Amino acid sequence: MKRHLVILVLTGLLVGAVQAQTSYPIRKEAKRVLFIGNSITYAAHYVDFTIAAFYLENPGTKMEAINVGLPSETASGLSEPGHAGGRFPRPYLHDRLERILEKVKPDVVVSCYGMNDGIYLPLDEERFARYREGIERLHAAVTQRSIPIIHLTPPIFDPKKDPAYAEVLDTYSEWLISQRKNSQWQVIDLHFPMKEHLIAKRQTNPDFFLAEDAVHPNEIGHWIMAQALLDGLGFPEAKNMASPDAYFDSKPSGQDVLALVKAAQSLTKDAWLTHIGHDRPGMKAGVPLKQATKESNKLRKEIRKLCRSAF
């Protein structure tokens, strides 16, 4: 009984501590949306869910989503000693950001950093400052080009693995959310919806997890991220769906659209990463960008056909 009371109090504190979600619809004229981030963005599941839902809700849209998430990357420029067995330090976003913006020429940027930025150590003011500086530099680089940027709070780190690092990401997320009011940034919170879900599920199942390794979300973890992102983009319907299958099964041709989106994203992300250039060893080269773009355009044409026929 006492344990349940503590969990309910913590859940109430979470709800009260975080501002209500604000909606930031993507402009109708936006043709190219860029996703940047680390391995969680590169994995692309939350990106796939979000983009497929966006297509289904906007039949006929010609918007293209480009994912250049890079595993291990940080916005802070920090790297722990012996990262990757000492084979290479963590890549630094700002070593490639200008090339990304110049080559992709996005109309909107969606950014998700933080998981790696505290380099899996307890909260430290110097590391926290480096994260803030990296995100502020990112924001300035994008907005100076008159491109809107939507910042996403980082996913949760499972507190069962390391409560101290879980608190680091709470702190980073709270700071990012505070920039809505302090700096009029567009910020969509993924972190605290995931934390609420985890706390609620562990009331009845202490072994429940959203990330088996504490870092990389499973399918439901990515779905909760997508739900929060879609809500923040002005599509709240997904919030009521317990799983991606529940949502996409509810839409005519929904699963087919999702499959085509996954195929297009799988085809283009490595091609774009190679075309832009990066310092992380061990990544796939992908097919040449020209070929990837041509094949992706065909897939998006099929997506538009399916979405139109559903209405």
Does the residue 162 lie in any domain? yes
In the predicted model, is pLDDT for residue 172 greater than 50? yes
The span from the CA of 298 to the CA of 301, in Å, is: 5
Residue 262 belongs to some domain of the structure: yes
Averaged over 246-267, what is the pLDDT? 97
CA atoms in the 13 A half-sphere facing the CB of 193: 24
Confidence of residue 308 (pLDDT cuts 50, 70, 90): confident
pLDDT at 22: 78
Any domain includes 39: yes
Q: What pLDDT shows up at residue 311?
A: 59
How many independent structural domains does the chain possess?
Answer: 1
- Who has greater pLDDT, 108 or 13? 108
Chain-centre distance of CA 55, in angstroms? 18
Q: Is residue 14 part of a domain?
A: no
Tell whether 15 is covered by a domain: no
DSSP of 250-310: TSTTHHHHHHHHHHHHHHHHHHHHHHH--S-TT----S-HHHHHHHHHHHHHHHHHHHHHT
pLDDT at 310: 62
Task: Name the pLDDT band for 133 (thresholds 50, 70, 90).
Answer: very high
Q: What is the pLDDT of residue 176?
A: 98
| pLDDT of 29 | 83
pLDDT band of residue 8 (cuts 50, 70, 90) is: very low
CA distance 299 to 266: 12
Mean pLDDT of 258-273: 97
Task: Report whether 173 contacts 154 (CB < 8 A).
Answer: yes
Q: Is a pLDDT exceeding 90 seen at residue 3? A: no
Within a domain: 148? yes
Are 121 and 310 spatial neighbours (Cβ–Cβ below 8 Å)? no
Ramachandran category for residue 214: left, alpha or beta (phi over 0 → left; psi -120 to 50 → alpha): left
Q: In this structure, is residue 289 part of a structural domain?
A: yes
Query: Band of the pLDDT at 1, cuts 50, 70, 90?
Result: very low
Boundaries of domain holding 297: 23-309
Q: What percent of the chain has pLDDT above 90?
A: 88
Specify if 171 maps to a domain.
yes
Three-point CA angle 105, 267, 188, nearest 5°: 55
| Helices 45-57, 219-232: inter-axial angle, 10-degree rounding | 40
Mean pLDDT of 227-232: 98
Name the pTM for this structure: 0.93
Domain CATH number, residue 217: 3.40.50.1110
d(CA 305, CA 307): 6
Nearest to 155 by CA among 211, 208, 84: 211
State residue 293's pLDDT score. Answer: 97
pLDDT of residue 5: 40
Question: How remote is the C-alpha of 74 from its chain's centroid?
Answer: 13
